[in-house]
A = this chain, B = another copy of it.
Amino acid sequence: MASYKTPLRDMRFVYNELFDPKAIQALPGCEEVTPDLVDAILEEAGKFCEERLFPLNRSGDEEGCHFENGKVTTPAGLKEAYRDFYEMGWGALAADPEYGGQGLPESLSMMVEEIMCSTNFAFSLYPGLTHGAYNALVARASEELKQAYLPNMVAGKWSGSMCLTEPQCGTDLGLIRTKAEPQDDGSYRVTGTKMFITAGEHDLTENIIHLVLARTPDAPKGIKGISLFLVPKIQVNGDGELGQPNGVSCGSIEHKMGINASATCVMNFDDAQGFLVGKLNKGMEAMFIMMNTERLAVGIQGLAIGEAAYQGAVAYARERLQGRALKGPKSPDKPADSLLVHPDVRRMLLIQRAYTEGNRALAGWVATEMDHAHRNPDPRRRQEAEDFVALMTPVVKAFMTDTGSEMANLGVQVFGGHGYIREHGMEQYIRDARIAQIYEGTNGIQAMDLVGRKMPAHMGRYLRRFFHPVRDYLEAKEHDFTMHAFLLPLAKAFGRLQKATAFLAQRGMANPEEAGAAAAEYLRLFGLVALGYLWMRMAEIGLQKRDEDPLFYQAKVDTARFYFERILPQSSALFASIMAGSKCMMKFNDDAF
């Protein structure tokens, strides 16, 4: 059976030891975020998610959502869990106190998101979408809209959705056809069909606030003629009470590979009352605020599934007795040794562990910078943090979800045949994790975002926010002999990343297909180097503190070794692929496929 305990020790390590909790506490609005508070929140969140969400994960997958006469019913138990989730305040951690939120830092709330996703990925999408819609509205909606909608969203009474995709367009939103006709009262009438709308319709809340991309009648063609509209499922009266149903209906729900407890809807808008969010024809920019929140959240999903799959696999490997250690029985009194004695099983577990803890560190780094971007009083520090978050968003999204799926697959492999059986819960991780590589921009799109937008932005300014800390750290440790086992391979991999960057910057300028052809491998290389840097720093802490808690800190050092010896070498192969150029792909005859 899959099993899960909140990795509190490792979360505290990332929050308190790898990064600087005092720097977070020094930020405006974070004064009360003491180590004790952080501990208490993580513990309580863990308790709620383990006790209430995890038991619904398998049953929700088996039951799925129901669709009848335009109504969507979520699987048994979800409604009560959702209600209690918000009543206990878990849905409002990062929201602004002005709208009823708790104003806690992202670096803390992201960890709570991880716990929620590990225990129930499908459930997490309902609050997740609401939080994304909240972020876009906070940033771009008029004060009136904010006051009318945000408090109920923060309180969990109303939820949010994100309506981009249409049958003829997913990635290419310039092809959007949904129309928005201006009305005399300043509102719009929205008409069109959206598909793949997560949480588009469900029975968890009394209202659903859709953020809809649409075109006004005279809008320019393509991406520059798209605006963002707030379209409630049920109209909201001037007094803030619910009024008439709006022209919004759910046409059907999809039958999917996974995340079955999450309703994926076809949404029909038929002269629905909508309100412009932000400026006309600037919908993409406004939507990207939401999208970027979501992309980081999706990266966390990869991390979360990796953690859950790892825990399930370790528990099984401990219990399952099968075969004997290659050097002779380890438990001669038992009919067989545990799976843990087998090198190949340890290899799989350590890959999972190295990626999971590495991904958690990476998420922590980005979340910390998000807090600085939002709150630091120094505009220069804010800008630097914003640059870093912009740069790392595609890396977090794609690298952490690709590795998340790999870890889910390893979890099943450790279980052997039992992993393939639904009731054990391990194969669900594969099915659930798979969507994270696709939605909110496929991982191929993330890679293009990295090489095509983030890399060249402001003459490489974003890149420096990553390259400089890594370079400075390597220089600082140059004469530290205790760190040489990490320093040399990291320096080598980092060198490859720098060379690949220069190569793509130069070649991509002349021929964008060169950058496109190498993008996926470049993003992977970027992620590997980022984790290498973080693993070296974690190893350093481990070496310094291993007398304090040998089991924990020695494991950090040993996992870092594993990462450097068995995973980071991939950088050589990726580098070779990148440098091979695009010719072998682009000259391939279309008709020959």
Contact = CB atoms under 8 A, between A and B. Distances in A.
A562 B2 CA distance: 40
A566 B577 contact: yes
A172 interface: yes
Contacts of A322: 169-172, 175
A538 interface: no
A420 interface: yes
Interface in A121-154: none
A429 B196 CA distance: 21
Given A350-B588, A420-B434, A565-B581, 11 more contacts: A170-B322, A257-B420, A340-B590, A342-B444, A350-B585, A413-B438, A417-B439, A427-B434, A555-B589, A566-B584, A569-B572
A538 to B, nearest CB: 14
B565 A584 contact: yes
A8 to B, nearest CB: 16
A558 B587 contact: yes
A76 interface: no
B420 A435 contact: yes
A570 B168 CA distance: 37
Interface of A: 165, 168-172, 174-175, 196, 254-258, 314, 317-318, 321-323, 326-327, 335-336, 340, 342-350, 353, 405, 409, 412-413, 416-417, 419-423, 427, 430-431, 434-435, 437-439, 442-444, 447-448, 511-513, 515-517, 519-520, 551-552, 554-555, 558-559, 561-562, 565-567, 569-573, 576-577, 580-582, 584-593
A589 B350 contact: no
Contact of A577 (B345, B431, B565, B589): B565
B170 A417 contact: yes
B434 A343 contact: no
Contact of A196 (B255, B417, B422): B417
Contacts of A438: 412-413, 416-417, 419-420
B576 A572 contact: yes
Given A517-B347, A555-B592, A175 B584 contact: no
Contacts of A434: 409, 412, 420, 427, 430
Given A326-B512, A435-B420, A520 B175 contact: no
Given A169-B322, A561-B584, A344 B417 contact: no
Contacts of A170: 322, 416-417
22 contacts: A255-B421, A258-B420, A326-B512, A327-B512, A327-B513, A343-B516, A350-B584, A412-B438, A413-B443, A416-B438, A417-B439, A420-B438, A431-B431, A551-B591, A554-B592, A555-B589, A555-B592, A558-B592, A559-B588, A565-B584, A572-B576, A573-B573
Given A555-B588, A572-B573, A343 B513 contact: yes
Contacts of A430: 257, 430, 434
**In the complex, the 6 A-B pairs of residues with the closest C-beta atoms, listed nearest first:** A569-B576, A343-B516, A555-B592, A565-B580, A257-B427, A326-B512
Contacts of A346: 517, 585-586, 588
A552 B593 CA distance: 10
A590 B558 CA distance: 12
Given A175-B336, A326-B516, A584-B561, A593 B420 contact: no
Instruction: Output the residue of A256, A443, A573 with the most chain B CB within 10 A.
Output: A573
A576 to B, nearest CB: 4
Instruction: Output the residue of A168, A347, A511 with the most chain B CB within 10 A.
Output: A347
B573 A444 contact: no
Nearest to A196: B417
A254 B417 CA distance: 11
A21 to B, nearest CB: 25
B417 A255 contact: no
Nearest to A421: B254
A562 B592 CA distance: 14
Contacts of A511: 327
B566 A580 contact: yes
Contacts of A350: 584-585, 588
Contacts of A422: 255-257
A444 B344 contact: yes
A115 to B, nearest CB: 20
Contact of A513 (B326, B447, B572, B576): B326
